[in-house]
A and B are shown apart, each in its own frame.
Chain A
Amino acid sequence: MGYTDLDQLAINTIRVLAVDATSKANSGHPGAPMGMAPVAHVLFNKFMNFNPKNPDWANRDRFVLSNGHGCMLQYALLHLFGYQLSMDDLKNFRQLDSPTPGHPEAHDTPGIEVTTGPLGQGFANAVGLAMAQAHSGGVYNKPGFELFNNYTYMFFGDGCAMEGIASEAASMAGHLKLGNLIAIYDDNHISIDGDTKCAFTEDVMKRFESYGWHTEWVKDGDNDLAGIEAAIRKCQQVTDKPSVIKLTTTIGFGSKLAGTGGVHGNPLKADDAQGVKKLFGFNPEESFAVPQQVYDMYHKHAAEGAAKEQEWNQLFEKYQSEHKTEGADLARRLAGKLPEGWEKKLPVYKPTDAAVASRKLSEACLEAIHDVLPELVSGSADLTGSNNTRWKNAVDFQPPDLGIGEWAGRYIRYGVREHAMAAVMNGLAAYGTIIPAGGTFLNFVSYAAGALRLSALSRVRVIHIATHDSIGLGEDGPTHQPIETLAHFRALPNCMVWRPADGNETSAAYYSAITSKHTPTVMALTRQNLPQLELSTIESALKGGYVAVDTPNAAVTIVSTGSEVSIAIEAATYLQEKHGVAARVVSIPCFEVFDAQTKEYRLQVLPDGIPVLSVEACCTMGWERYSHEQFGLNRFGASGPYKEVYAKFEFTPEGISKRALATIDFYKGVPVRSPINRAFQQIL
């Protein structure tokens, strides 16, 4: 199909809007939107199926701007196609509380699928979205009912191509043969520091070919609209590989500084902006101008998208009557509801039950709930046997022709790619039909921190099964023993860190993680066995903290988490027997949940008048909020069998008792207040 002046006008409208918005904000990145406007126009207007009036339509094509700094491109498109994003919103680009922030944020702006900006993240998110499509298609599609067949399109630039996370994700996508993933590489030769040859000389397409991708090259991405269209069409025809189109473009096309680093991250100078408008036939004195015929063309395509959604809705209705079980299940998932009564399957433990490592307790939860919770998709970064993330009859998520799994499989082999795993999980969760859980050692969640932060910021439900959570992992030594990790993740807003002390607490952690629809969870789990506590119940653990040993007239409260709670309980006995000192013990498996309880409750748990000692075998930072004195480990650990490592650092009943006595002594005669007593509520 031929391209007309109207197409060119639309492209130039996008460019001029990017110039105007960045100029008005006096900050932002005009270069990429100006360079990528042609491909965006072709893609959105010719290929993509979406309904701006319902950005949540389940089978819409997904679009991810991995080079998120170019977000004015996306905002302009969303506005022009009729999403709920007004011209005033564009004028408020990068201003406080506008839906047009400096980088795309999924929870702020209708039509944005995932939050991007930190480079490489969007690339991996798109792989996750494409995996979710393949999985959902595998689960639900039936002859005559192609419910899930959408494409995932993703733009990325040189920056993303250099980031390790994108390489990890690209390798994974190639292995998984994600035919519905089409990436467009903005080959503009410019990064912030100047020409990419300063630091980037590899053959990107060859690298993608070796990952198992289909590649195309459009040499004139500035003008060759037909070539762009043909390339995308070819990629659609390749169904057993992901595709990447290298699109050679001129950054800041139309500007005097086109093709230089000068247009990457700074608004154009006023005269340059005017020049751009003149060049494109716009009134240089006018800003934020959109020709009506551009709106008309785009609204027409939007209407086609709305009609496609209607068709899909009818198909889905028919599906629900012909495939009642699957139909009801999908309708439930799309409504964001969990299956009725799923939580009753969570294991419950008695104090007399055997001591079990919490990574095994986590496995027991997965084993118990995976049948009733079909949206749960587990996996591991090549530590399945250590993370205990796979239920017995799990089927791997793999392309069926490999003969080792199927699309409907619910166990993902992420490979040794922790960072990509976390970002792929963000994409899986954003798709809307999956609750992803993924395992690695807690210390290696640090590799994934960049992605975990975006889970929290963009409010998606993902579960990190983080085993080997302390020096208790033993022989692997300090390279594998987390010290500062919990302090980091506890400081991360909107991230729940659970460190359960026994079976009931582990079940509570799962209940909390799965019911918290807008919050990621990190579960810190042990390698070593933990006894079942006397007073733990799922209900009390779900308060985030509770009294694990109550003693009248206690002289000290020992507050702890995870593997140290049972040692603290032994310490309480030791204190009573050896020193005649009464001690209470409190377990706080999750700070975030505990903080959400009423003050009365929290004060019952940590009352006034009794000094509090915290015990945790990692960095003490952050414990001051619950305790007067802190016992922890503010240095790196050591390699050795776990009991000896614990003994070396005195995480023993004796070691805790010694510090409890010191705490009692120090606060003798001082009327101590509970750390819970606060003047004000925090703003959340």
Chain B
Amino acid sequence: MGSSEVCLKPVNMSDDDHAVLTLRNLIFDICNQNGGGHGGSAIGMAAIGVALWKYVMRYNPSNPDWFNRDRFVLSNGHCAMFLYALNYLTGYDAWTMDELKGYGSAKENGYTTLAHGHPEIECPGIEVTTGPLGQGIANAVGLAIASKNLAALFNQPGHELVNSRIYCMTGDGCLMEGVALEAIALAGHLQLDNLVLIYDNNGVTCDGPLAWINSEDVNGKMRASGWHVLDVLDGCYDVEAIISSLNHAKCLKGKPTFINIRTVIGLGTSTAGTAKAHHGAFDAESVARSKIAAGQNPSTTHNPSERGLRFFRERKNHGEALEKDWEDLLMRYACEYPEKASDFAFRLRGAKPDLKTLLEHLDSEQFRGMPTRESNGLILEKLWDFSPSLCGGGADLVNSNKFVYSDSDVFHPSVSYKGRYIRHGIREHAMASVSNGIAAFHPGTFLPVTATFFMFYIYAAPGVRMGALSHLPVIHIATHDSFAEGQNGPTHQPVELDSLYRAMPNLTYIRPSDAEEVIGAWMWATASTNSPTMISVARDHVDNIPGTSRSRVAKGAYVLQNDTEADVTLVSCGSSLQHAVRAAKQLREQHSIGCRIVSCPSFDLFDQQRGEYRESVFPLDGKPIISVEEYVATTWARYVTASVGMSSYGYSASNPSNYERFRLDSEGITSRVKEYLAFLDGRNARHMGWRSI
């Protein structure tokens, strides 16, 4: 097309249609600027974007963190440019055109951009990090829970302080993922009518037509899961119909709403309606045609028309006004309900009561001999009463997890949305990801807690990982972490799972040995504002081990019994520590082998200590240091010279017989240590290299 023939006449089309094209054209440019990206779905969703950002959602581009904004989650996070383009058009200060140009660019010489390959929570205007499919839907359920809970706690007649609605965009992929299906069932059960799930039904996935892989009746599935279902048949152009359905959803009570919107992936391009539009660049001819239709010069890029910009930018003032109204409301509320207002301000600040002092003064004598799952449960109970931000629950094993709650505190409309105890059902994966959503509502307003058997955090691993990656403080209580889990056998006995969580960046995995260290674990977990913690506790009784220290848990590892003349150091954690302590006694008394003992509840915390401290705990003098734990021991190799651990799965058997079978009781440890010392024969253990013994 010759540029001389370019048509720049004012365009005879409605503002909405023009806005849709403005958005599409910007998406074309972002997608093509570095040779491709996930543009196809974003193009298909443009009319949905206009409806949401222009007519439905309440937000303030001048303050992305305004507390009572509606939240938008892009569960199909690969379409990130959809979100980026709208953030720019509506005038988020941080989202300049230069940022958009960063999408897909080389990040050389220190260059950074907000426009990552997938939306990341650290960026203004992004509610949660998404990309791994299904996670965003579960996050949205968490956000909806948070909003409902705050509304129930604080709203008063005529004073709707909190009424954030949650809008979540999904493609076909998320709707196939188990984590999403779990979360959808939970949202239906909880009747979260402040949640709208918008389905970009374009009938195409990465591999090809959806019909290759899925024939289900999606609407039927959603109805069966307790959702209202609305249909929009032309989601490509019919902005009005989309607005109507979104507004109608506001009136639908007692159930979350699912809006099934038919769109065409890569609409108006040469690959429209095919899997080829899912990822890649768009053909120049189609892009030019679209720009001409909007009255834009096709030879320029990243250049939305004045008319288009004005249409969206008006939202900036609108949003500022919304927030101002809310601030006024808050003032009136403070006059009428001063006490509630101060509680609200407390939550708004993300403040916590003084849990540190409470934990410091807790008498651990009362927990003596108790399995750590029990002392943990009792400690949680005390904190729960004291700290309004704590919320959450378990995945149908709370009696085993020892997560105590009262029936009146259950979060459910049949009880109240004021409740903080969430019955997640047997939905481990959703539990973790929903909790991420609750934590993401506003920094510090909630401190979510989850619970299940340690082994079944394997189901929840992607959710836990997303929490770690997104810096969201969530506390995971993993019980039954030892072989004394009660004869369920190897399907329930973790031997390798600690490797996953100890290797996971920005997650603090703590395995306390007794109530004293459980208190220490909670001191760390409740103080953390930017990382999740997993507290791993056991079902077996614990010996009284003198010297364990709550305050030293933060050191990660510390010397429990010192002996400068010791021949060996034994180091352990969790309920294994008692076996190590017994073995040390046996070695000392029956074999005259002096033992130093180190308690090491957390590698992650230990690694943060200074070099001198670490060396004082694990000296480099070549004397043997032996770890004891019923897991695959390679995790220990960076600290110790030898390890007593597992290299196979466990067995279904009574607790003591398992420890005997795998030589993990004091007899077994003692004999393994003796074998190792005989092998060393006085040689430098460091020079001999780490080994599993």
Contact = CB atoms under 8 A, between A and B. Distances in A.
A69 B397 CA distance: 14
B176 A493 contact: no
Contacts of A493: 495-496, 632, 646-649
A164 B179 contact: yes
Contact of A478 (B180, B425, B469, B661): B469
| Nearest 5 Cβ contacts at the A-B interface | A164-B178, A210-B220, A624-B637, A199-B425, A96-B653
Given A193-B396, A480-B131, A413 B207 contact: yes
Contact of B398 (A193, A634, A674): A193
Contacts of B213: 172, 175, 382, 413-416
B356 interface: no
20 contacts: A27-B486, A96-B653, A117-B491, A199-B425, A202-B225, A207-B220, A207-B225, A210-B216, A210-B219, A384-B207, A414-B213, A417-B176, A488-B497, A491-B496, A493-B495, A494-B649, A624-B638, A640-B106, A678-B691, A684-B647
Nearest to A477: B117
Given A384-B207, A420-B178, A484-B505, A199 B218 contact: no
A3 interface: no
Given A478-B469, A636-B505, A118 B455 contact: yes
B349 interface: no
B499 A622 contact: yes
Interface in B347-402: 394, 396-400
A164 B430 contact: yes
B172 interface: yes
A453 B491 CA distance: 9
Nearest to A210: B220
Contact of A200 (B189, B221, B496, B647): B189
A414 B173 CA distance: 11
Given A167-B182, A416-B176, A635-B505, A198 B648 contact: no
Contact of B652 (A94, A211, A476): A94
Interface in B458-504: 458-459, 461-462, 465-466, 468-469, 486-492, 495-497, 499-500, 502-504
Interface string B413-439: 000000000011111111000000000
Contacts of A479: 77, 118, 129-132, 466, 469
Given A419-B178, A622-B635, A644-B106, A199 B186 contact: yes
A631 to B, nearest CB: 13
B404 to A, nearest CB: 13
A73 to B, nearest CB: 16
Interface of A: 25, 27-28, 68-69, 94-98, 101-103, 105, 115-120, 158-160, 162-168, 171-172, 174-175, 191-193, 198-207, 209-212, 380, 382-386, 396, 398, 402, 404, 413-420, 443-444, 446-447, 449-450, 453-454, 456-457, 475-480, 483-484, 487-488, 490-494, 619-622, 624-625, 628, 630, 634-636, 638-641, 644-645, 648, 670-680, 682-684
A171 to B, nearest CB: 5
B254 interface: no
B178 A105 contact: no
Interface residues of B, number: 119
B688 A677 contact: yes
Contact of B491 (A68, A160, A640): A68
Contact of A164 (B177, B465, B505): B177
B526 interface: no
B427 to A, nearest CB: 5
A417 B177 contact: yes
Q: Which of A116, A476, A620, A670 has the most CB of B within 10 A?
A: A476
A382 B206 contact: yes
Contact of B634 (A118, A478, A625): A625
- Best-buried of B120, B178, B225, B652 by chain A (most CB within 10 Å): B178
Contacts of A418: 177
A95 B503 contact: no
B208 to A, nearest CB: 8
A683 B648 contact: yes
Contacts of A414: 213
A201 B130 contact: no
Contacts of A101: 489-490, 651-652
Contact of B687 (A69, A174, A672): A672
A488 B117 contact: no
Contact of B107 (A416, A446, A638, A674): A638
Contact of B226 (A25, A202, A404, A639): A202
A27 B484 CA distance: 13
A103 B692 CA distance: 29
A490 B117 CA distance: 29
B499 A625 contact: no
A414 B225 CA distance: 23
A165 B178 CA distance: 5
Nearest to B131: A479
Contacts of B224: 202-207, 209-210
Contacts of B220: 206-207, 209-210
A512 to B, nearest CB: 19
Nearest to A158: B426
Nearest to A207: B224
A101 B176 CA distance: 34
Nearest to B133: A416
B259 interface: no
Contact of A192 (B186, B400, B458, B491): B400
A624 B116 contact: no
A680 B693 contact: yes
Nearest to A383: B206
B78 to A, nearest CB: 8
B503 A640 contact: no
Given A174-B216, A384-B207, 7 more contacts: A120-B178, A165-B178, A386-B206, A415-B205, A479-B77, A493-B495, A684-B648
Given A102-B489, A639-B116, A673-B689, A622 B657 contact: no
Contact of B487 (A102, A203, A446, A621): A102
Interface in B188-238: 188-189, 205-207, 211-221, 223-226
A383 B459 CA distance: 22
Given A96-B658, A167-B181, A447-B462, A117 B488 contact: yes
B690 A624 contact: yes
Nearest to A191: B396
Nearest to A677: B689
Given A117-B491, A413-B213, A621 B634 contact: yes
Given A105-B489, A622-B634, A163 B221 contact: no
Given A167-B182, A680-B693, A457 B130 contact: no
A103 B185 contact: no
A449 B116 contact: no
A381 to B, nearest CB: 9
A95 B206 contact: no
